[in-house]
Structures are given as structure tokens and as C-alpha cells.
Structure 1
Amino acid sequence: MDWLVREMTDPLATFPKHRQPMVIRTLVCRRGVERIEIPGVASDYRSSEDIRTVLLVLRERPCFGSPTNDVGSRPSPFKNASRQRLYEVLVDEFGPMCQSCGQRYGHVADHDHFTGLVRGLLCRVCNTWVDTCVHADSADCDYAFYLNAPPAESLKLRYPASHRQRALDEVRRSILGFEVLDPRSWPSTDPTGWRWPAPDRAQLAEVASNWWSRHPDATSRRRDQREAVMQ
């Protein structure tokens, strides 16, 4: 009967509480350049029921894994003194290797977008893909193991900057009706109870366009992200 209990459980509820909002944030818009094609589910912008369907499908798929085990090399000294100090603290505490895959040198101090606290030292590959993980069980993949119990969580180190994709977060806010990165704006403290309808693509394209018009000095890379949002 274990299989029946699993199928009756809300797939979002299987994640640790601290990961549920980020899973929603990841899946409410498409995952980077990957287009998730699931019959009956929107590929770009998804309703709450779409996300639950996507979770049921994606949890059976492995997360991205690098095709090479090349350890690379240690990063050059950071120009930003606070980041250099943060890197040194993490290396002193955990060593220089990636704390997710353990195969490559760590180059990035990864942080939690909600708390602003550092989670650990990651290689560039793991840093790129870790937040796209939709596995709830730590035994399923290294990313889930890392996210469920971030190694540096107990150190309470605050990250010195933010790397939010602001245009996409503006679109997410329009879809959900609140800011998923701000718990004060949540409709309830239980993300499994959040519900929202399927969004209107034309309206979201206008939201993204308005955001970019207010930020004329955005980099060319972020302008490319704008085109991805509006496709």
C-alpha cells in the first residue's frame, strides 16, 4: 500500500518545507533554456495544477550531470574582498572541492535566495543546475542531498550580493499575485495550499517588456533573458 500513499500525497508536500517555495519559483516559469513538454501542461508559464503534474513527471527523471569529471583548478583570487574572504572560510571549513558533486573544485559561494545565507561552495556546473532540482528525497540525487541539508547552513554566513533574475521574478509575481521571495507577502505559510490559475501569455509579455523599459542599463545577457521570457 506504500505506492498508494505516495500517489495520494501532494507532490509538493514531499519536499522539505524550506524547499517548497523555491520549487514553485523554479517551475512556475520554464526552467532556463529547457522546455518541459508534458501533454496537457503549459511549457512556459504554469498554473498550480500544472506544477503538480510536472513534479510527478520530473521526479522520475535524473537531474543534469556533467559529462566530464575534470576537477578543473582552484579559482583565481576574487577581486571582491568580501567574496574572497567568504571563499576562504568555506575552504577552511569544508575543503576546496564542490560540496554537491565532490568531483570539481568549488568556484561559487552558493546562497539561499530567501534567507541570503550561504549554503556551500559549489563548482560552476552544480551552481548552474542545483536550483532546478525537483527531487525531494536526498537519496535520489546529489543536488537534493545538498539542498535538503546545506553544509554551510550552521555557519550563518550572509552572502554579500544578490543574483536574482529580476525580469522573470516580475513575471512570477504577476502569475502568483505575490512575491515568492518575500514570505511577508505569502497568502499563507503553507506553500502546498497556494493555488493560482493558468496565466495569460500576452499579459506576461507586457509585464516583462515594462520591466525592461524601466531598466535601460541592463546588460546584454539579461536582454537575452528578456527575449527568452517573451518567446
Structure 2
Amino acid sequence: MRGEQTQKLREALEEDIASGRLRPGRRLDEVSLAERFGVSRTPVRETLIQLAASGLVEIRPRRGAFVVLLGPRELMESFELMAEVEASCARLAAQRMGPSDRAALHEAHGACRAAVGAGDEAAYYAANARFHGAIYAGTGNRMLCAEAQRLQRSLQPYRRLQLRVPRRMEASFAEHEGVLEALVAGDGATAAERLRAHVVVQGERFMALLAVLQDETDAVAQAGYQAG
């Protein structure tokens, strides 16, 4: 039960941080958060520790937890790093995936297809994480898998917000199709190239993501102004 509370708290705070509702430098008060979500301070404390591990929160000794938010340059560089790590995962997975790994990948891809058909952004976000996770596991390299998972956690809020870019969910699924095809064929070079292009954000796509972030921030600011 507490684990479920912590997961819901983490997802809510990730969304608040990435959207600008919780701004950089903002102190996250455990008592206020516990009251807001109707829980004890224990799951709040656990959530803040998880967010600190993913790089979204900084816990300062004797001062508390504070929001960290990547600027445009750091965001671009983080996606570039994530793209290179995932490309390496795809290259190895194409050669090493076993039957159970392939089954997990196909199951996640099917869940992505169902979410696109239903227009369910939240379901797609979860299935998308499983799709990428199946590739990490398929590398057979525990160190690389752990690093990919760490980076994925740090970029989760931004990857979720990308799905608000018009038609991004459909485009993401189409890109998955290409990655899956290359992986099943055992073509590591093509799988790596396609997954790199899928993850990295450049040009118009990066600007669209920044626009979504700005829209979220402006909406929150306007709501605060009207409430005042």
C-alpha cells in the first residue's frame, strides 16, 4: 500500500516539476506535501529520496529538499546522452535477446498499439517505458541496463510531456515499429540508429517540447494570478 502511495506521489511531483508548477529552487516541505496528498510524512520522505536519485530534487543537509529543473541546454544534452546509451542497448539487444526478452518487447509494443488506438496518453507512457525497459534487459549487460534505467528515470517527466506535442504519440509508435523490426531481424546497427533517432530531441521537436513546458508554466502562472 505504501509503495503504491509513493509511486503516485512520485508521478504527481514529477509532473509538477516538469510542467513548472513546482519551480527551480522551490523548497518541498514534507508537512505541506503530506497534507496536500492526504498521507503521512513517510511516503513523502521516500518519494523525495527517489526524486533526488533521479536528479529532479536536491536534498540539502539540514535545509530540506529543493526542486531542480534542467535548462534548455542541459535538457538537450541529457537527451543526447540518453540517445547514445539507448543506441548501445539496441545494438547489443539485437544480438543477445532471448525468447523471454522478445516476448516482453512484443507485449509492450502491443500495449503501446492499444494505447494509441484509445488515445490514452497515460497508458502509452507506461507501455513506452516497458518497451524501452525490455530493450535494456535484452542487452544482457547489467551495468549498461542500470545506467539506461537511471537516465530514463531522470528524463521521465520530459518524456511524458513530449506526448503532449501534437501527434507525438502516433509518431513515437511508428518509430517503435522500426526499432522492433530491426531488433527482430538481428540488425544491431539499424536498431541502434533508429533508437537513437527516436530518443534524441532536435530542431523542431525540441522546440515543440520547450513550447509545451512554457505553456504549462504560463497556465500555472495565470491560474495563480487569477486566484490572487
> Structure 1 length normalisation: TM-score?
0.27
Higher relative contact order (CA 8 A, sep 6+): 2
> Structure 2 length normalisation: TM-score?
0.27
Structure with the higher fraction of residues in helix conformation: 2
